[in-house]
Amino acid sequence: MKMSKILTPMIQTIATQPFLDQKPGTSGLRKKVPVFQQPHYLENFVQSIFDSLEGFQGQTLVVGGDGRYYNRTAIQIILKMAAANGFGRVLVGQGGILSTPAASCVIRKNQAFGGIILSASHNPAGPTEDFGIKYNIGNGGPAPEKVTEAIYAHSKTITSYKILEAPDVNLDKVGVDKLGEMAIEVIDAVNDYAQLMESLFDFDRIRELLTNGHFRMCMDSLSAVTGPYAHRLFEQRLGAPLGTVVHGEPLEDFGGGHPDPNLVYAHDLVELLFGDNAPDFGAASDGDGDRNMILGRQFFVTPSDSLAVLAANATLVPAYRDGLAGIARSMPTSQASDRVAAKLGIECYETPTGWKFFGNLLDANKATLCGEESFGTGSNHVREKDGLWAVLFWLNIIAVRQQSVEEIVTDHWKTYGRNFYSRHDYEGVDSDRANELVANIHSQMPTLTGKTFGSYEVAYCDDFSYTDPVDGSVSTKQGIRIGFTDGSRIVFRLSGTGTQGATLRLYVESYEPNPANHHLDPQVALKDLLDIADAIAQIRHYTQMDKPTVIT
């Protein structure tokens, strides 16, 4: 008689040794794929997540990712570890796919204990590129710092992990299966999310707009996760012509591209929208679907302005008809939304960079809309930023106002004034030199206030510190702010999501009330402030670069 393969899956306890570099950054743990492929590397981190949690026995976990290289392998490992650690049920997106906002939606809808999202967001994908993993809590949002710190602490002392010895799960077929004692449900990756979108926006009006025969849009999914969502929403549910969604198939290497929806990396879309016979509306999303870029015909909407415009027009959208409880923006995001909040008589919260800081404000109903200058916008409908949600929001506003993107934004500036804004990134800087640059600014901080640079006088200068108004937790060293007496600002931060060297981010903002100047190119309007930033930080000297690698 032939011996059958393992009939009852066995829980194995595997001895391991800590890796000392598993500190989650702005958004989870991100490393190059070969780092994750080291024996026990992913397993250690997953076990450290589970070991930092309490009370998940028999509960539901949501698992999915942006489809990048290593997604499927990682998911198989995580499923077996979830089973061995005592979860009762795992919901996993078909093909291992769940966009970040869809994962947040599925966690909330199913009252799951939490979720594991596999993504390195906008970073390139492939065998030698980036991979990432992060844990989201039961409200659907990224784990707060006290959880990520506990995970990191566990990862430094871990000695073993638990995994079920079992065959791989078929991720491609929707349905229910068992892994040991644990139920596995492979779910349609798009359904729950699409339903949620339909409950928020006026789909009838958007459908009218997209089928009226003259309005044309292009959605570029950059060969990343939003493809299936965008096809379903825009082409199938809202009737836009086939071909409206381009690069709509998620590829393991994102087609070799850099799935970051900005003017540099979404160049095909930018060329289309700034070319002859351009469509009326263009949008792009990032690797895991939480970012968005909005373009009109020959017109780019700065993410900071986008947040302000959505806030000012929120009552045109069914979900926000009754108004907003408040707005929240990350510290480096421009103060355009503060002006809208002031007019609406609501609070505008200023948080550190990273979506995790919005969770408490949303849960406590202190804020309804949130945004970051880094092409992230979202609301209380989930606990992540949400790219396609922002696109639908814009379409809903356009459908109601019957104006072009450019008209809507320039009208906004007429009412509120324009916050000129730009971010300059210096990528791949030597880490030591980047730290020296920061130390050099720190050493000047005590004497900067009151100093004048041309017509600008420094009103304050600090390293941003945030006290969460809900739980009182304090986050320090969140970026250097130099504020001027006229409300202009210069902000310096080092990125917390990169995987190679350091990235310096310089954020510059000024305010222009006079509509006669609103047409200016931000790089021209901000020239003096950019020069001041270089004078203070000696960016060229420390980065050894003549100019930024990305300007947005």
- β-strand 326-330 against 347-351: which pairing, if any? parallel
> Shortest Cβ distance from residue 497 to ligand G1P (Å)?
3
Candidates 172-180, 197-205, 250-258, 350-358 — which segment interacts with ligand G1P by CB under 6 A? 350-358
Q: Residues 12-35, buried b or exposed e (16+ Cβ, 10 A)?
A: eeeebeebeebebbbbbbbbbbeb
Residue 232 vs 424, nearer CB to ligand G1P: 424
> Shortest Cβ distance from residue 121 to ligand G1P (Å)?
5
Q: Which of 372, 386, 468, 509 binds ligand G1P (CB under 6 A)?
A: 372
Site for ligand G1P in 376-435 (CB under 6 A): 376
CA distance linking residue 289 with residue 265, whole number of Å: 15
Q: What are the distances in angstroms from CA 346 to CA 342, 366, 445?
A: 6, 9, 32
Residue 221 binding: pick among Zn ion, ligand G1P, none (C-beta 5-8 Å cut-off by kind)? none
> Shortest Cβ distance from residue 488 to Zn ion (Å)?
29
Judge whether 453 and 403 are in contact, CB under 8 Å. no
Residue 44 vs 353, nearer CB to Zn ion: 353
Which region holds residue 277: left if phi is over 0, alpha if psi is between -120 and 50, else beta?
Answer: left
Q: Is 119 in the site for ligand G1P (CB under 6 A)?
A: no
Site for ligand G1P in 500-529 (CB under 6 A): 505
Q: Is 81 helix (H, G, I), strand (E, B) or coil?
A: helix
Q: Is 70 in the site for ligand G1P (CB under 6 A)?
A: no
- List 460's β-bridge partners, or say none: 483
Residue 64 vs 261, nearer CB to ligand G1P: 261
Nearest residue (beta carbon) to Zn ion: 121
- Which residues contact residue 102 at a Cβ distance below 8 angstroms, ignoring those fewer than 6 apart? 64, 93, 189, 190, 192, 193, 229, 289
Q: Kindly name the residue from 27, 99, 121, 475 that is annotated as catalytic.
A: 121
DSSP state of 255: G
Q: Is 66 in the site for Zn ion (CB under 5 A)?
A: no
DSSP state of 241: P
Q: Residues 234-248, buried b or exposed e (16+ Cβ, 10 A)?
A: bbebbebeeebbbbb
Q: Which of 220, 260, 286, 425 binds Zn ion (CB under 5 A)?
A: 286
Q: Which of 48, 121, 292, 360 binds Zn ion (CB under 5 A)?
A: 121
**Residue-by-residue DSSP string for 38-77:** STTHHHHHHHHHHHH--S-TT-EEEEEE---TTHHHHHHH
> Shortest Cβ distance from residue 224 to Zn ion (Å)?
9
Judge whether 64 and 97 are in contact, CB under 8 Å. yes
Q: Is 192 in the site for ligand G1P (CB under 6 A)?
A: no
- Rounded to 10°, the helix 387-401/203-210 angle is 80
Residue 117 vs 408, nearer CB to Zn ion: 117
Residue 155 vs 292, nearer CB to ligand G1P: 292
Burial of 474 (0-12, 13-18, 19+ CB in 10 A): exposed
Size of the site for ligand G1P (CB under 6 A): 14
Residue 114 vs 352, nearer CB to ligand G1P: 352
> Shortest Cβ distance from residue 458 to ligand G1P (Å)?
24
Q: Which of 60, 71, 94, 121 binds ligand G1P (CB under 6 A)?
A: 121
- Terminal CA-to-CA distance of the chain, rounded, Å? 68
Residue 304 binding: pick among ligand G1P, Zn ion, none (C-beta 5-8 Å cut-off by kind)? none
Q: Is 130 in the site for Zn ion (CB under 5 A)?
A: no
Residue 291 vs 329, nearer CB to Zn ion: 291
**Residue-by-residue DSSP string for 402-451:** ---HHHHHHHHHHHH-EEEEEEEEEEEE-HHHHHHHHHHHHHHHHHHTT-
Q: Which of 161, 355, 484, 507 binds ligand G1P (CB under 6 A)?
A: 355
- What track of x and - describes contact with ligand G1P for positions 20 through 39 (by CB under 6 A)? ------xx------------
CA distance linking residue 144 with residue 135, whole number of Å: 10
Task: Tell me, yes or no, if 199 is annotated catalytic.
Answer: no
Q: Which of 47, 306, 335, 374 binds ligand G1P (CB under 6 A)?
A: 374
Task: Enumerate the active-site residues.
Answer: 121
Would you tell me which residues interact with ligand G1P (CB under 6 A)? 26-27, 121, 330, 353-355, 372, 374, 376, 495-497, 505
